[in-house]
Chain A
């Protein structure tokens, strides 16, 4: 009979020189190897120092995992919050999700996992409740702003755009155009109008289609600008029409060469 177990624990700060990330990876790595060998699947969710492992497998194999986890010197306060028999496994592999970066696919994934376990979860301490919330509702300010619903034609007019991280290759194939936009938006909040005046593209349509692509995969946050705007980006400096820093001759030569090679994405001027 297969079981599903969810356990919460706290990752201890390491006493040696290893960083938090190395600590997380070393724990994940030993879990990964052990679980692979024992046919255990599930998820390894990390938010800061809180770790939730959801494990599915044979009950004896899971017992063995719990034994190991409890003895692991890198981990403290182990608590099992779900322990049920299951007919069918919900996970197909053992995967690691690091939630600190809060990217959109993770949010979706978390919702699914939450759906899966919340009815069966029981908490015996306050600490469990806190840690559980940390994993599932670890909200991020940039995302809590309501995204603009259904943008019509030129719907980006009057919006502020920002990105927190690069879209991943499995989400979206990066083109040179997308890359330019991302580079400008990541870590910044920029007015749509500003992007238009920078004239990175030949047409506004090209810019819009880039932004739409990013919006489709939830990579960009689009919010309506409030009336009095204290963002610096509002004033437009017309002077910088010129392209990149001195490298424009090089850039020109490279573009010419690449388009001569017949590469699809080759952007012609």
Chain B
């Protein structure tokens, strides 16, 4: 059987939880020793360059996890993993800042609609919000930014420190991939 290697890109601003997400998933990989060695366990440090982790599903099937910094000046890194993505996870950190510009850049660059890349916006650190209202406001802002980019994408609360929460994200991508396949078929039959 042919080997299958899918790629998930995780993009987000400093401290959004990219390294954490990749570490959480890589640590439960059945071939953990192999996976661990390739994971940058960066602790409190900002990752310079790409984080890499892998979820090995069987001998010939694996999911590569690529953590990429969110700032536009790292476009070169974005280009490196952009091709043939299984999914794009944009992590947005809940906080006081309304940093929509960075999100615009990422969406602009990856152009998930045109390139048919399943996209999920993961809202991290929402456990630190004082009230649900604050989270709601923040979601408004993110939604508006998506709207401006003509993008419909689910926004999901995510805690990258938790296995269940992180795996849920993979499940969602799988679901998106599945129905995107159907939607494309639908389209083809119409045109």
Contact = CB atoms under 8 A, between A and B. Distances in A.
Interface in B121-163: 123, 131-137, 139-141, 143-145, 147-148, 152-157, 163
Interface centre among A28, A95, A177, A179 (most CB of B within 10 A): A179
A265 B155 contact: no
Contacts of A187: 152
Interface in A79-98: 92-93, 95-98
Contact of A266 (B30, B132, B140, B171): B171
Nearest to A19: B148
Contacts, number: 152
Contact of A261 (B61, B153, B163): B163
A244 B172 contact: no
A136 to B, nearest CB: 18
B168 A265 contact: yes
Given A200-B182, A249-B61, A176 B174 contact: yes
A146 interface: no
A227 to B, nearest CB: 21
B167 A21 contact: no
B57 A177 contact: no
A168 B150 CA distance: 17
B33 interface: no
A247 B30 CA distance: 21
Interface in A17-38: 19-22, 24-25, 28-29
Nearest to B157: A169
B171 A263 contact: yes
A177 B174 CA distance: 10
A254 B133 contact: no
A182 interface: yes
B63 A254 contact: yes
Contacts of B133: 92-93, 95
Interface in A153-209: 165-166, 168-170, 174, 176-177, 179-184, 186-188, 198, 200
B132 A170 contact: yes
Contacts of B154: 166, 174, 179, 182
Interface residues of A, number: 59
B46 interface: no
B41 interface: no
A97 B98 CA distance: 14
A117 interface: no
A117 to B, nearest CB: 20
Interface residues of B, number: 58
Interface string A237-248: 100100111010
B175 A177 contact: yes
Nearest to A46: B144
Contacts of A243: 178, 181
Contact of A170 (B57, B63, B139, B148): B139
Contact of B57 (A29, A179, A181, A254): A254
Contacts of A183: 175-176, 179-180, 183
B158 to A, nearest CB: 9
Contacts of B30: 257
B32 interface: no
A177 B164 CA distance: 17
A265 B182 contact: no
B177 interface: yes
B90 to A, nearest CB: 14
B179 A200 contact: yes
A184 B98 contact: no
Interface in A56-105: 92-93, 95-98, 100-101, 103
Given A25-B98, A166-B155, A232-B190, A240 B137 contact: no
The 3 closest A-B pairs by CB, nearest first: A244-B181, A253-B57, A176-B175
Given A93-B131, A170-B139, A182-B154, 11 more contacts: A96-B140, A165-B152, A166-B155, A180-B178, A198-B182, A200-B182, A240-B182, A244-B177, A249-B4, A250-B86, A254-B63
9 contacts: A20-B148, A97-B140, A98-B144, A169-B157, A183-B180, A244-B178, A247-B177, A250-B4, A258-B171
